[in-house]
Structure 1
Amino acid sequence: MINFLMIDDNPIEHIIMQKMFDKFHLFPAASHSLDARQSMDLFERHYLIPDLLPDVVFLDLNMPGFSGWDFLNSFERIYKQIKKAIDIYIISSSIDPKDRLLPKKYAFVKACICKPVKMETLLNLHTLYQSIKRDAS
Protein backbone atom coordinates (compact mmCIF):
# COMPACT_ATOMS: atom_id res chain seq x y z
CA MET A 1 0.00 0.00 0.00
CA ILE A 2 1.22 3.50 -0.84
CA ASN A 3 1.19 5.98 2.02
CA PHE A 4 0.12 9.40 0.78
CA LEU A 5 0.11 12.77 2.58
CA MET A 6 -1.45 15.98 1.30
CA ILE A 7 -0.37 19.24 2.94
CA ASP A 8 -2.56 22.20 2.01
CA ASP A 9 -4.20 24.91 4.12
CA ASN A 10 -7.41 24.84 2.05
CA PRO A 11 -9.83 22.19 3.37
CA ILE A 12 -11.79 22.22 0.10
CA GLU A 13 -8.68 20.98 -1.75
CA HIS A 14 -8.54 18.01 0.63
CA ILE A 15 -12.21 17.17 0.13
CA ILE A 16 -11.88 17.26 -3.66
CA MET A 17 -8.72 15.15 -3.61
CA GLN A 18 -10.21 12.56 -1.25
CA LYS A 19 -13.36 12.28 -3.39
CA MET A 20 -11.18 11.53 -6.43
CA PHE A 21 -9.21 8.96 -4.43
CA ASP A 22 -12.40 7.29 -3.22
CA LYS A 23 -14.06 7.27 -6.64
CA PHE A 24 -11.12 5.53 -8.31
CA HIS A 25 -9.82 3.55 -5.30
CA LEU A 26 -6.50 5.40 -5.21
CA PHE A 27 -4.18 5.81 -2.23
CA PRO A 28 -6.37 4.13 0.42
CA ALA A 29 -3.83 5.13 3.08
CA ALA A 30 -4.14 8.85 2.32
CA SER A 31 -3.61 11.33 5.13
CA HIS A 32 -4.40 15.02 5.05
CA SER A 33 -2.86 17.97 6.88
CA LEU A 34 -3.89 21.61 6.90
CA ASP A 35 -0.70 22.59 8.73
CA ALA A 36 2.79 22.27 7.22
CA ARG A 37 4.48 22.78 10.61
CA GLN A 38 2.61 19.83 12.14
CA SER A 39 3.52 17.71 9.13
CA MET A 40 7.17 18.68 9.47
CA ASP A 41 7.00 17.72 13.15
CA LEU A 42 5.88 14.23 12.05
CA PHE A 43 8.96 13.87 9.85
CA GLU A 44 11.29 15.20 12.54
CA ARG A 45 9.88 12.79 15.16
CA HIS A 46 9.70 9.68 12.99
CA TYR A 47 12.42 10.00 10.36
CA LEU A 48 14.02 6.74 11.55
CA ILE A 49 10.72 4.81 11.45
CA PRO A 50 9.88 4.42 7.75
CA ASP A 51 6.49 2.76 8.25
CA LEU A 52 5.18 5.90 9.95
CA LEU A 53 6.09 8.15 7.02
CA PRO A 54 4.39 8.70 3.68
CA ASP A 55 5.81 7.53 0.36
CA VAL A 56 4.32 10.46 -1.54
CA VAL A 57 3.59 14.02 -0.42
CA PHE A 58 1.52 16.64 -2.21
CA LEU A 59 2.64 20.03 -0.88
CA ASP A 60 1.06 23.43 -1.43
CA LEU A 61 3.64 26.23 -1.39
CA ASN A 62 1.55 29.23 -0.43
CA MET A 63 0.24 28.71 3.09
CA PRO A 64 0.09 31.15 6.01
CA GLY A 65 2.62 30.85 8.81
CA PHE A 66 4.88 27.88 8.09
CA SER A 67 4.66 27.77 4.29
CA GLY A 68 5.44 25.05 1.79
CA TRP A 69 8.78 26.80 1.24
CA ASP A 70 9.51 26.53 4.97
CA PHE A 71 8.58 22.85 4.81
CA LEU A 72 10.96 22.23 1.88
CA ASN A 73 13.85 23.96 3.64
CA SER A 74 13.25 22.00 6.86
CA PHE A 75 12.80 18.71 5.00
CA GLU A 76 16.06 19.27 3.13
CA ARG A 77 17.93 19.24 6.44
CA ILE A 78 16.68 15.76 7.40
CA TYR A 79 15.80 13.91 4.20
CA LYS A 80 19.17 12.16 3.82
CA GLN A 81 18.67 10.60 7.25
CA ILE A 82 15.21 9.26 6.41
CA LYS A 83 15.26 5.50 5.94
CA LYS A 84 12.95 5.43 2.92
CA ALA A 85 12.40 7.28 -0.34
CA ILE A 86 9.83 10.06 -0.01
CA ASP A 87 8.78 11.91 -3.14
CA ILE A 88 7.31 15.38 -2.89
CA TYR A 89 5.08 16.90 -5.55
CA ILE A 90 4.38 20.61 -5.41
CA ILE A 91 0.72 21.41 -6.03
CA SER A 92 0.05 25.05 -6.73
CA SER A 93 -2.28 27.41 -8.51
CA SER A 94 0.47 30.04 -8.59
CA ILE A 95 1.32 31.58 -11.95
CA ASP A 96 4.67 32.89 -10.69
CA PRO A 97 7.42 31.17 -12.76
CA LYS A 98 9.76 30.93 -9.76
CA ASP A 99 7.17 28.78 -7.98
CA ARG A 100 7.74 26.24 -10.77
CA LEU A 101 11.54 26.58 -11.02
CA LEU A 102 12.80 26.97 -7.44
CA PRO A 103 11.37 23.69 -6.08
CA LYS A 104 13.40 21.79 -8.68
CA LYS A 105 16.56 22.58 -6.72
CA TYR A 106 15.44 20.02 -4.14
CA ALA A 107 16.36 16.44 -5.11
CA PHE A 108 13.25 15.04 -3.41
CA VAL A 109 10.81 17.25 -5.39
CA LYS A 110 9.70 15.18 -8.35
CA ALA A 111 7.43 17.66 -10.14
CA CYS A 112 5.21 20.71 -9.88
CA ILE A 113 1.54 20.01 -10.56
CA CYS A 114 -0.95 22.75 -11.36
CA LYS A 115 -4.18 22.97 -9.38
CA PRO A 116 -6.72 21.72 -9.90
CA VAL A 117 -5.00 18.34 -10.06
CA LYS A 118 -6.34 16.32 -12.97
CA MET A 119 -7.65 12.81 -12.49
CA GLU A 120 -5.30 11.57 -15.21
CA THR A 121 -2.33 12.87 -13.19
CA LEU A 122 -3.49 11.00 -10.08
CA LEU A 123 -4.07 7.79 -12.03
CA ASN A 124 -0.60 8.01 -13.58
CA LEU A 125 1.05 8.63 -10.21
CA HIS A 126 -0.87 5.81 -8.57
CA THR A 127 0.17 3.42 -11.35
CA LEU A 128 3.80 4.55 -11.04
CA TYR A 129 3.95 4.01 -7.29
CA GLN A 130 2.08 0.70 -7.46
CA SER A 131 4.72 -0.61 -9.88
CA ILE A 132 7.55 0.70 -7.68
CA LYS A 133 6.03 -1.07 -4.65
CA ARG A 134 5.64 -4.31 -6.65
CA ASP A 135 9.25 -4.15 -7.85
CA ALA A 136 10.49 -3.57 -4.30
CA SER A 137 8.63 -6.64 -2.99
Structure 2
Amino acid sequence: MSTLELGSVMLVDDSRVDNFINCKILELNAVTSNVSVFDEAAKALDFLKSNLNLPDLIFLDIYMPSMTGFDFLEEFESLSLQIKEKCKVVLLSSGFDNLELQKLRKFNWISGIIVKPLTYESLEGIISIN
Protein backbone atom coordinates (compact mmCIF):
# COMPACT_ATOMS: atom_id res chain seq x y z
CA MET A 1 0.00 0.00 0.00
CA SER A 2 1.25 3.45 -0.92
CA THR A 3 1.93 6.16 1.63
CA LEU A 4 1.03 8.78 -0.96
CA GLU A 5 -2.39 10.24 -0.54
CA LEU A 6 -4.47 12.61 -2.60
CA GLY A 7 -8.05 13.64 -2.07
CA SER A 8 -10.31 13.66 -5.08
CA VAL A 9 -8.70 14.04 -8.50
CA MET A 10 -9.95 15.37 -11.83
CA LEU A 11 -8.28 14.30 -15.08
CA VAL A 12 -8.84 16.63 -18.05
CA ASP A 13 -7.41 15.12 -21.22
CA ASP A 14 -8.87 14.42 -24.65
CA SER A 15 -6.93 11.15 -24.91
CA ARG A 16 -8.92 8.19 -23.62
CA VAL A 17 -5.75 6.11 -23.58
CA ASP A 18 -3.92 8.66 -21.39
CA ASN A 19 -6.94 8.92 -19.08
CA PHE A 20 -7.07 5.12 -18.74
CA ILE A 21 -3.33 4.91 -18.01
CA ASN A 22 -3.43 7.78 -15.52
CA CYS A 23 -6.44 6.28 -13.71
CA LYS A 24 -4.59 2.95 -13.47
CA ILE A 25 -1.47 4.66 -12.11
CA LEU A 26 -3.54 6.45 -9.46
CA GLU A 27 -5.34 3.20 -8.62
CA LEU A 28 -2.25 0.95 -8.55
CA ASN A 29 -0.42 3.37 -6.28
CA ALA A 30 -3.49 3.63 -4.01
CA VAL A 31 -3.26 7.40 -4.23
CA THR A 32 -7.00 8.05 -4.52
CA SER A 33 -10.18 6.17 -5.22
CA ASN A 34 -12.08 9.28 -6.27
CA VAL A 35 -11.24 10.23 -9.88
CA SER A 36 -13.42 12.25 -12.26
CA VAL A 37 -12.44 12.06 -15.93
CA PHE A 38 -13.28 14.65 -18.59
CA ASP A 39 -12.25 14.43 -22.22
CA GLU A 40 -13.22 18.05 -22.89
CA ALA A 41 -12.02 21.09 -20.95
CA ALA A 42 -15.39 22.85 -21.30
CA LYS A 43 -17.18 19.94 -19.60
CA ALA A 44 -14.66 20.02 -16.76
CA LEU A 45 -15.26 23.75 -16.25
CA ASP A 46 -19.03 23.22 -16.26
CA PHE A 47 -18.57 20.57 -13.58
CA LEU A 48 -16.45 22.92 -11.44
CA LYS A 49 -19.01 25.73 -11.76
CA SER A 50 -22.01 23.59 -10.82
CA ASN A 51 -20.71 21.04 -8.34
CA LEU A 52 -20.17 21.29 -4.61
CA ASN A 53 -17.88 18.24 -4.57
CA LEU A 54 -14.81 19.93 -5.96
CA PRO A 55 -11.64 17.97 -6.68
CA ASP A 56 -8.54 18.63 -4.61
CA LEU A 57 -6.28 18.24 -7.63
CA ILE A 58 -6.79 18.75 -11.37
CA PHE A 59 -4.40 17.14 -13.85
CA LEU A 60 -4.82 19.24 -17.00
CA ASP A 61 -3.56 18.40 -20.48
CA ILE A 62 -2.48 21.43 -22.50
CA TYR A 63 -3.02 20.11 -26.03
CA MET A 64 -6.73 19.50 -26.59
CA PRO A 65 -9.05 20.37 -29.48
CA SER A 66 -11.81 22.97 -29.12
CA MET A 67 -10.80 24.32 -25.71
CA THR A 68 -7.09 23.94 -24.99
CA GLY A 69 -5.51 23.71 -21.58
CA PHE A 70 -4.50 27.37 -21.96
CA ASP A 71 -8.15 28.28 -22.60
CA PHE A 72 -9.13 26.26 -19.52
CA LEU A 73 -6.59 28.16 -17.40
CA GLU A 74 -7.96 31.52 -18.61
CA GLU A 75 -11.50 30.46 -17.66
CA PHE A 76 -10.38 28.88 -14.39
CA GLU A 77 -8.81 32.18 -13.39
CA SER A 78 -12.26 33.82 -13.50
CA LEU A 79 -13.90 31.22 -11.21
CA SER A 80 -14.76 31.91 -7.59
CA LEU A 81 -12.04 32.18 -4.98
CA GLN A 82 -13.51 29.12 -3.23
CA ILE A 83 -12.92 26.98 -6.32
CA LYS A 84 -9.42 28.34 -6.95
CA GLU A 85 -8.36 27.77 -3.34
CA LYS A 86 -9.75 24.23 -3.20
CA CYS A 87 -8.56 22.92 -6.59
CA LYS A 88 -4.83 22.70 -7.23
CA VAL A 89 -3.98 22.56 -10.96
CA VAL A 90 -1.12 20.45 -12.29
CA LEU A 91 -0.32 20.55 -16.00
CA LEU A 92 0.17 17.20 -17.65
CA SER A 93 1.49 17.10 -21.20
CA SER A 94 3.75 15.24 -23.59
CA GLY A 95 6.15 18.17 -23.52
CA PHE A 96 6.47 21.93 -23.23
CA ASP A 97 8.45 24.34 -25.36
CA ASN A 98 9.91 27.63 -24.12
CA LEU A 99 7.11 29.73 -25.61
CA GLU A 100 4.48 27.68 -23.79
CA LEU A 101 6.39 27.88 -20.53
CA GLN A 102 6.50 31.68 -20.96
CA LYS A 103 2.70 31.73 -21.45
CA LEU A 104 2.22 29.64 -18.31
CA ARG A 105 4.19 32.04 -16.10
CA LYS A 106 1.23 34.38 -15.83
CA PHE A 107 -0.70 31.65 -14.01
CA ASN A 108 1.35 31.81 -10.81
CA TRP A 109 -1.14 29.58 -9.00
CA ILE A 110 -0.28 26.46 -11.07
CA SER A 111 0.91 23.81 -8.61
CA GLY A 112 3.15 21.85 -10.95
CA ILE A 113 4.05 20.62 -14.41
CA ILE A 114 4.45 16.93 -15.27
CA VAL A 115 5.56 15.40 -18.55
CA LYS A 116 3.34 12.40 -19.42
CA PRO A 117 2.88 9.75 -18.29
CA LEU A 118 2.13 10.03 -14.59
CA THR A 119 4.51 8.00 -12.47
CA TYR A 120 4.78 7.20 -8.79
CA GLU A 121 7.74 9.59 -8.61
CA SER A 122 5.86 12.45 -10.27
CA LEU A 123 2.91 11.90 -7.92
CA GLU A 124 5.30 11.91 -4.98
CA GLY A 125 6.70 15.25 -6.15
CA ILE A 126 3.26 16.82 -6.51
CA ILE A 127 2.14 15.60 -3.10
CA SER A 128 5.28 16.93 -1.41
CA ILE A 129 4.73 20.37 -2.97
CA ASN A 130 1.07 20.53 -2.01
Q: Does the alignment pair 1:23 with 2:4?
A: no
Please give the alpha-carbon distance, in whole angstroms, between the structure 2 residues aligned to 1:74 and 1:116: 25
1:118 aligned partner, one-letter code: T
User: Residue 37 of structure 1 contacts residue 71 of structure 1 at CA under 8 Å; is this kept in 2?
Assistant: yes
Equivalent residue, structure 1, for 2:75: 74
Q: Relative to structure 1, is the Cα distance of residues 95 and 82 closer, same or farther in structure 2, using a 3 angstrom cutoff? A: closer
- Runs of 4+ deviating beyond 6 Å: none
Aligned equivalents of 1:109, 1:122: Cα separation in 2: 15
Tell me if the contact between 1:100 and 1:112 (Cα under 8 Å) persists in the aligned partners: no
1-structure distance, mates of 2:117, 2:73: 21
- Fraction of identical pairs, as percent: 26
Hey, what's the Cα distance between the residues in 2 that align with 1:58 and 1:115? Answer: 11
Gaps of at least 5 residues in structure 2 are: 1-5
Q: Is the 8 A contact 1:5 1:54 kept in 2?
A: yes
CA distance in 1, matches of 2:84, 2:73: 18
Separation in 2, partners of 1:72, 1:83: 11
Secondary structure at the aligned position of 1:117 is classed as coil
Q: What's the CA shift for 1:101?
A: 3.2
Deviations 1:28-71 (A, max 9, x none): 1111111100001112223xx3xx11110000011000111111
Q: Within the alignment, does 1:41 sit opposite 2:17 as a pair?
A: no
1:114 maps to a residue whose letter is V
Note the aligned Cα RMSD (angstroms).
Answer: 2.0
2:37 maps to 32
Q: TM-score, normalised by structure 2?
A: 0.83
Question: What is the deviation of 1:117?
Answer: 2.4
Q: TM-score normalized by structure 1?
A: 0.80
Q: Counterpart of 2:11 in 1: which secondary structure? A: strand
CA distance in 2, matches of 1:54, 1:125: 15
The CA deviation string for residues 83-136 of structure 1, in whole angstroms up to 9 with x for no partner, is 74211011111342122332232133112111122221113434665xxxxxxx
Aligned-partner residue type, residue 59 of structure 1: L
- Does the CA-based 8 Å contact 1:104-1:111 persist in structure 2? no
Please state which structure has a larger fraction of its residues in helix. 1
Name the CA distance, whole Å, in 2 between partners of 1:119 and 1:28.
15
